[in-house]
Amino acid sequence: MKTYALVGTGGRSGLYIEAITGKYRHNAKFVAFCDTNQTRMDYANQQLEQSGIARVSTWKASDFNTMLDETKPDIVIVTSMDRTHDDYIVRALHAGCDVITEKPMTIDENRALRILDAVDATGYQVRVAFNYRYAPHHSKIRELLQQETIGEVLSVHFEWLLNTEHGADYFRRWHREKRNSGGLLVHKSTHHFDLMNFWLNSTPEKVYAQGDLRFYGKENAEKRGVKDFYPRAHGYKQAQNDPFALHMADNPQLKALYLNAEHEDNYFRDQSVFGDGISIEDTLSVLVKYQNKVQLTYSLNAYLPWEGLNVVFNGTKGRIEMKIVEMSYVNAGGKRENEGSIEKAEITVYPLFAKPWQAQFQLGEGGHGGGDNAMLEDLFGERTEDPLKRAADHRAGAMSILTGIAGNLSIQTDRPVYFKDFELVKRLRQKK
């Protein structure tokens, strides 16, 4: 039986707590929780008790090394704030632990280099939890491209839509500060850029991006005639009828995780999306040229009427179009299986000189069209040979964030950014 310590007991940790206390309780167990906030760790222990499992020891973040020394986990699961991932990953590796980390693996090149150095020095493993790779519709695209269904891929258009519930949520919490999350090009788009690397079996050569804060933030709201502002939803009557407000007191899970924990760290999960202090973009466009010469046009907008994606592959023998509509959700605000659940999923193949046809695939149960459960089985269950090679290591984690990091740099300089200029890319390509 493998033993696990979990650092970061906020909303995302619930995926792993439910897995290890549920389906995988016979071959995995927790030995410790670590966080900056005792209230959240106590809530995590309540989840264990509700599953008939004894509470585990809790450790403040400042005692992370002591926790590793005393509880000796086999694997550390990292679900903390993005900018802290590298610190916990590196310390866990040097303590003799493998690591499972939430995406993004980290938020900038220097942090990624620290992780690469630690993997090289220790020989321990980092797995990045890219659940989208495991979603049946995304796996089907990989399969179709591997089979050269449309010949050689020449160009891709990839549009991701975040709606006014899920998309707005990034502007209520710590993600709204780029120093914490790397912005949406790193925090959210790491999924999409990883899918591109996964689908195309290639990595970028050149990136050019544009981005701005056009919808959220106080200045944009003022331009649209908004006059009533509030700093956060809780306790402010101006927020009562605002569809962009998050009312934590009405949601038992959000109340337990955040509202009841505020007295410890003054972290407010329900900040106004039309407040000051937002340093991330909500409107993003990216051009990418890959090593295999494929051209990508990519866009991400965080204020749209529906959630999901349109992606199109153009090849020498035809075209593939995929449209996915996801159910709207707020992180940790509902049932886990509703997060990213699929309302509509279609993949259409348009061959040259032949009739179009629908690709067949079976959506799985659980969040993200079954992607969550398939990933958890790979992480905690009986691993089997995977011809699609969906497991993602630190190299995949690094390459996915580098597209977003390059995009952020391009936005700052208004110039294309070349992957060959990154020290991290030189290191990774030397090790192939």
Burial of 337 (0-12, 13-18, 19+ CB in 10 A): middle
Q: What is the pLDDT of residue 432?
A: 61
Q: What number of other Cβ atoms are within 10 A of residue 261's Cβ? A: 24
Give the tens place of pLDDT for each residue, 333-365. 667 666 778 889 999 999 999 999 999 999 888
For the chain, list residues with pLDDT below 70: 332-334, 336-338, 431-432
Predicted local distance difference test score (pLDDT) of residue 368? 84
DSSP secondary-structure letter at 232? B
**pLDDT at residue 333, rounded to an integer:** 65
Amino acid at position 255, single letter: K
* pLDDT for 384: 86
Q: Are 204 and 290 in contact (CB under 8 A)?
A: yes
Assigned token pair, 272: 């106004």
pLDDT at 308: 96
**Is the separation of the CB atoms in 6 and 30 below 8 Å?**
yes
Separation between Cα atoms, residue 63 and residue 203, nearest integer Å = 38
The pLDDT value given to residue 336: 64
Tell me the pairing of strands 307-315 and 318-326.
antiparallel
Please spell the DSSP secondary structure of 350-364, one letter per residue: EETTS--EEPP----
Q: Which of 262, 261, 301 has the alpha carbon at shortest distance from 168? A: 301
Residues in Cβ contact with 104 at an 8 Å cutoff, skipping those fewer than 6 apart = 82, 85, 182, 186, 187, 190, 397, 400, 401, 404
**In whole angstroms, how far apart are CA 343 and each of 82, 161, 164, 196, 338?**
29, 14, 17, 23, 10
Digit-coded pLDDT (tens) for 104-155: 999 999 999 999 999 999 999 999 999 999 999 999 999 999 999 999 999 9
